[in-house]
Amino acid sequence: MQPGANIEMLMARYQQGDFAAASALIDHVSPQLYRFFAAQSFSRADADDLLQETWLRIHKVRHTWRPGEPALPWFYAIARHIRVDHYRKSLRTVTGERRLETLAASLPRIPSPSDQTEQVAALLAPLSAAEREVLEMLKVAGMSLEEVAGATSSSVGSVKQKVHRAYKKLRKTLGIGQKGGRL
C-alpha cells in the first residue's frame, strides 16, 4: 500500500469506480481476512473459498459502505456473515446426509432397477404432479428452494407448502408417524 494511503481512502475510491484502489485494497486486507477464515476452518481450500466469496460480496454491496465510517469492521462483518452462512450450509449438508443414511438403512433393499422404478412410481402415485415435480427438483436434482421457485415460477413459500404436503402424504403412505422421525 502506498505511504499515507489508508483503507477508508481506498474504499472511497473503489466506490467511485477506481479499480486500482480495489486491487490495492484486496492486497492489503486479504491477508487479514484469510487469517480470520484459516483460524476457524479445517482446510486452506475452505479459507480460500470463503475469502473469495467475501470479496465477491464486498464488490456486490460496496455501495452500502458509508464514507467516513471505518472500513475494516465493515469487511469483517461481511466476512463473519460469509463464514456463518458457510457453516450453516455445511451443517445442513451433513445433517441431510445423516438423515438419508438413516432412512436408507431403515428401508428394505429393492432387488432390481425395474422393480425399483415401479415401486418409486407407486410410492409417488398419491402425490400431485406439482408435488412430484418440486420433490424431484429438490431431492433428486439437488436444487435449492429458491432455484425450484424460479424454475416453477412460484414463490419459495409455495414450494415449501408443496414439499410439506408431499412429505405428509409420503409419511402416510410409508406408515411413518407425524411426530416420529423426519422423512
**What tens digit of pLDDT does each residue of 111-134 get?**
555 566 677 677 778 888 788 778
Phi-psi domain of 38 (left: phi exceeds 0; alpha: psi -120 through 50; beta: other) = alpha
Q: What is the pLDDT of residues 35-44, one digit of tens each?
A: 888 887 667 8
What domains can be seen in the chain, in order of their start residue? 7-90 (1.10.1740.10), 111-174 (1.10.10.10)
| Predicted confidence band of residue 1 (pLDDT cuts 50, 70, 90) | very low
Measured CA to CA, the distance from residue 21 to residue 130 in angstroms comes to: 50
Which residue is it, cell 416453477?
152
> What is this structure's pTM?
0.49
| DSSP 3-state of 130 | helix
Cα–Cα distance for residue pair 46/141, rounded to 1 Å:
24
DSSP state letter for 157: H
157-173 per-position pLDDT tens digit: 999 999 999 888 888 87
